[in-house]
Amino acid sequence: MPKPLTFRALSQKMLDSWIQTDPERPARPEIIYAGALEHMSPTMRLTVYHTDPGDPMDWFLEAIRHMTIPVSGSVDFRKFFESKRIREFEDQNYIRSVVFPAVPEVYASGQHRIEYVRTQVHGNEIGYQRLLLPQKSNGPPNWIVSFVEAGYLLNKPVTPSTPDAEDRVIVQLVAEGNSAKEIAKFLDLSHRTVEHRLERIKERYGARNIPHLVAMIIGGQASQAGDKSQ
């Protein structure tokens, strides 16, 4: 079985293929990604936007390779990203925050783009790296290859009740990377008491473990900051 490569290595591989294409003889998208598919990890996804002239909402998104990581929760991500026209996506908030304006901008400029995307699908936090490669041609491109690797994918948490002051301190210390023993020493509590409170906080947030709890806390804080800035 071929060895999985990093997002950076595969992006460079596809960029090299893209650079070698000739706008005088527009290539098919398979030329760009054919040599990369077998090296993709379970956290990677590859799609092709077929950009027929006209309303971008009518562009067709073809799923070439799905992420194969198992995801529990309220959203079937494989079904969500199945091949369909952009206007057919159920969550148009996702389309407005992720597809627009980035993909039409790449279409208009004819230039590739590498970026980090952070968004939500039905309230589920998603963060991923993305490479966009438009067809080289003397006119508008007929396709754009989109290659992504998920950095995190979190289920929508159960809305927690308001923690008391000491729990808020514990949550903050956990987010800063402190262990239960370090937190116990800092708060002058027993190690067992801190572990018990952490279990209670995990249940409140619906977290599976401490790393999951920290990711949910960070994601929640970032979302709140984004809401306040709007």
- Residue 72, pLDDT score: 45
At 27 the pLDDT is 97
**Residue of 216 and 118 predicted with greater confidence:** 118
pLDDT of residue 69: 62
User: For 118, left (φ over 0), alpha (ψ -120 to 50), or beta?
Assistant: beta
If residue 64 lies in a helix (H) or strand (E), which one and from where to where?
Answer: strand 60-65
Work out the pLDDT band at 223, boundaries 50, 70, 90: very low
Give the separation between CA 145 and CA 45, rounded to whole angstroms: 11
Identify the CATH number of the domain defined by range 7-154.
3.30.450
**What is the percentage of the chain residues whose pLDDT exceeds 90?**
42
Rounded CA-CA distance 123/75 in Å is 9
Question: Is pTM beyond 0.75 here?
Answer: no
Whether pLDDT at 224 is above 70: no
User: What residue ranges do the domains of the chain occupy?
Assistant: 7-154, 165-229
Give the model confidence (pLDDT) of 26-54 as tens digits. Answer: 999 999 999 999 999 988 999 999 998 77
Q: What is the Cα–Cα distance from 38 to 2, expressed in whole angstroms?
A: 6
Same fold, 7-154 and 165-229: no
| Range name among 87-91, 129-133, 155-159 with the lowest pLDDT average | 155-159
Return the pLDDT at 120.
Answer: 79
Task: Summarize pLDDT for 166-202 with one digit per residue, the tens.
Answer: 777 787 788 777 888 888 887 888 888 988 888 888 8
Using a 10 angstrom Cβ sphere, with 0-12 exposed, 13-18 middle and 19 or more buried, the burial of residue 111 is: exposed
Summary count for the chain: helices (H), strands (E): 9, 6
Q: CATH code for 165-229? A: 1.10.10.10
